[in-house]
Chains A and B, each alone.
Chain A
């Protein structure tokens, strides 16, 4: 195995364990890893932006292809950076005005078409379907998302939730029943969202632990095991050296 991969495995394991050490309590190892993370991420973003934007989107097209019109977005981008010069900061407004104006203009028709019209169209569907040989049919199969029963449930769900959100007057009489139905639908959706969030978070943990397990392999020099011991030892030593009177960690 290449030596840089072995060193990389040790570094990656160490940094992973430093962050996991936060689960015991906040400590300098975690803070170190946290700041390293921010620094490396920002540095990475700057390098990629330089390489992609300056080199490939600006310099090469202008110098090699003579696309001089690209100086316009460069000028607009430079105007944005005037934010750092107090006396000329107002010039950055031109850049923001352009970006926000174009962004709003692009968004309006596309959002109406994609989210409002298409979604309403799919909600207001025929409740009964024509089946050749059987005539008008009302399908009750809950497992078929396009069944008539599910179409009605969706219609009720969408309308009641919209009613609950938009009519912020005091809900009384029939309105109360509709709003309560809306709340019921919302609670079920929040429950589903929670279930899926749990799934996602656990997947991330599985991913990291899979890496740590991989790094227990002798070909890497078992960094997971060695560094786990070292991290625990460091935490114990640091815990003993905590000055008296410092408040204990909240549970």
Chain B
């Protein structure tokens, strides 16, 4: 067996080890390379920045623990930005297994920013039905969520004063890890109820949302951990996303090196086979 063949059949656990170490070392010894801001992320930031105090900002945390490393930092940054701008925040989730995380993030950021539940923000919790919930909120917010997460009736909450349905929302952002997520919020929400919509999503989903971004159906897109790091940079508050960027760089580089190596070995094997074929003939 030639060297190239042996290398191509290398025990996969060696590759696992390489990836593990490439992730671990930059987390332990960060370098802190600068992060460029993309126009997609700036779209969301600029829109929130342009909203006057007291505007209604709806954040739908449509993800579960599987996507926590990517979308949790996004939600922290968005909430910090919204609270800093003194927006009225309505938070909710369409994913049952994301309820606990959604409650945790809003409570944590609100406490940090000195905001009060019911007055400055409300967490509506989760409701089943996916797209039906969005339509129902578009028709009647109080019908879709008669009580908030803590069981308080939503009708009469100071934070919801003057809001009857999604038409009264100034800006909505869905942080989606799948369906229902950003697309559902457009199709069943913005299409009819005409509020401005932005999106945040996992890296896997990001390329699929570019058509909506180009057509202006969403006005910005925060894609994956990189998007979260850009948002953290924009609001000037470092968090887990920026801390993870060096590790992200290292692992990407490791995979690129692995792909190049695999191709070098592959072509050298092909060349060998051709030469043997010629000499055999």
Contact = CB atoms under 8 A, between A and B. Distances in A.
Q: Does chain A touch chain B in the assembled complex, meaning CB atoms less than 8 Å apart?
A: yes
Interface of A: 23-24, 41, 44-45, 48-49, 52-53, 56-57, 60-61, 106, 110-111, 113-115, 118-119, 121-122, 145, 154, 189, 192-193, 196-210, 213, 251
A122 B214 contact: yes
DSSP class of B's interface residues: helix, strand, loop or mixed? helix
Contacts of A23: 13, 16
A118 B218 CA distance: 12
Given A52-B125, A204-B70, 6 more contacts: A23-B16, A122-B216, A193-B208, A200-B224, A207-B244, A210-B244
Contacts of B11: 251
A145 B96 CA distance: 37
A17 to B, nearest CB: 12
A-B pairs, top 8 by smallest CB distance, nearest first, are: A207-B69, A200-B203, A122-B215, A203-B225, A199-B203, A206-B244, A202-B251, A114-B187
A205 B23 contact: yes
Interface in B136-154: 146-147, 151
B206 A213 contact: no
B23 A202 contact: yes
21 contacts: A41-B97, A45-B97, A48-B126, A53-B128, A56-B151, A113-B191, A122-B211, A122-B215, A145-B214, A197-B204, A199-B225, A199-B252, A200-B225, A203-B244, A205-B23, A206-B23, A206-B248, A207-B68, A207-B240, A209-B247, A251-B12
Nearest to A158: B211
B55 interface: no
A12 B214 CA distance: 42
Contacts, number: 131
B109 to A, nearest CB: 18
Contacts of B44: none
Interface of B: 9, 11-13, 16, 19-20, 23-24, 27-28, 66-70, 96-97, 99, 125-128, 131, 135, 146-147, 151, 186-188, 191-192, 202-204, 206-208, 211, 214-217, 223-226, 240, 243-244, 247-248, 251-252, 255
B224 A209 contact: no
B157 to A, nearest CB: 15
A178 to B, nearest CB: 21
A61 B147 CA distance: 10
Nearest to A212: B24
Given A56-B151, A60-B146, A114 B191 contact: yes
B187 A206 contact: no
B225 A48 contact: no
Contacts of B99: 48
Given A48-B126, A213-B27, A204 B66 contact: yes
A63 to B, nearest CB: 12
A52 B128 contact: yes
Contact of B69 (A110, A208, A251): A208
A42 to B, nearest CB: 10
B134 to A, nearest CB: 10
Contacts of A60: 146-147
